[in-house]
Structure 1
Amino acid sequence: MGPVCAGCAHTLIERANMTTPNSKSELLSTIVASYAARPDVGSDDIVALVAKLRRELGLGDAAVAAAQPEAPVTGGLTPALPVSRAVTPDKVFCLCCGKGFKMLKRHLGAEHGMTEAEYRAAFGLSEDMPLVAPSYSQRKANYARKVGFGRYSRDAARQGDETVS
């Protein structure tokens, strides 16, 4: 099943109203799992969807509690190591496979077919979670400051204006 849109969800809900409570729970878990797999979905969106679907499907707390283990909020991926140990000063570890790198972007695309946004969504990571080793980032920032990256000389800019006139 692809990403859930409002039209698709209502069609599934209408069909579910004619089925047993157990299949309604399975339907809820399928819809939520598909929705959670989208890279642009946050945890608040998932909670809101579950609440809306519970109302629409007429599910009680017992049925939803039984369905929740089948529909993990993280999109179904289990981290290879704890998130708290994923970032060290010299390496950032991939939560998919556990390998350590200075930067994860190329590895995620080449080995796992994921973008940074999909990776963050799959494991419920915040936007401020670094995907580049802190020491590597600091070293690159120091070098950029040293060579004057991002700055320009006002004298050079004036000389350029004078030659054009």
Structure 2
Amino acid sequence: MSDLDKPDTTTDLTALTADLVSAFVSHNKVGTAELPGLIATVHGALAGLGAAADTETVEAFHPAVTARKSLADPDHIVSMIDGKSYSSLKRHLTAHGLTPDEYRARYGLPSSYPMVAPGYSARRSELAKTIGLGRKPKGEIPVAASAAKPAKSGKPARKPRTPKAAPAA
């Protein structure tokens, strides 16, 4: 690119500054002593906008521990955010404004990375099995089988409905 193709940023800022200041002065009362300060302030603000966009970078997240170390203990998962141990990361992630998928994406974890410690999950599963969750109660007939066989009785359940008489015209 030659020098003729590049836009001259100082000229652009000067032109923008002149446009902004002239628009402001045409609608507001500004003393002649305040005018140089106003021009300097507007030009500085416009120059700062361009500089802020150049220096802005994407924040890189560095895990507190490695993925392997975070799963080393079967009873706890170590958070990559703060390095603390948790049985379940769900509430911790919510406190930091993350979903499990966002957490996995932020630290480059596979979709199979657990959010609950394996030992904790096994204890909860065993507890559920001991109290009988997930099993049908013994001795009861399943609902589908009882619905298939209607009970017969000698009389109908209710009196049949009589049709309404047609309205007289």
- TM superposition score normalised by structure 2: 0.47
**Structure number, greater radius of gyration:** 2
Give 1 or 2: higher helix fraction: 1
Specify which structure has the bigger relative contact order, considering alpha-carbon pairs within 8 angstroms and separated by 6 or more residues: 1
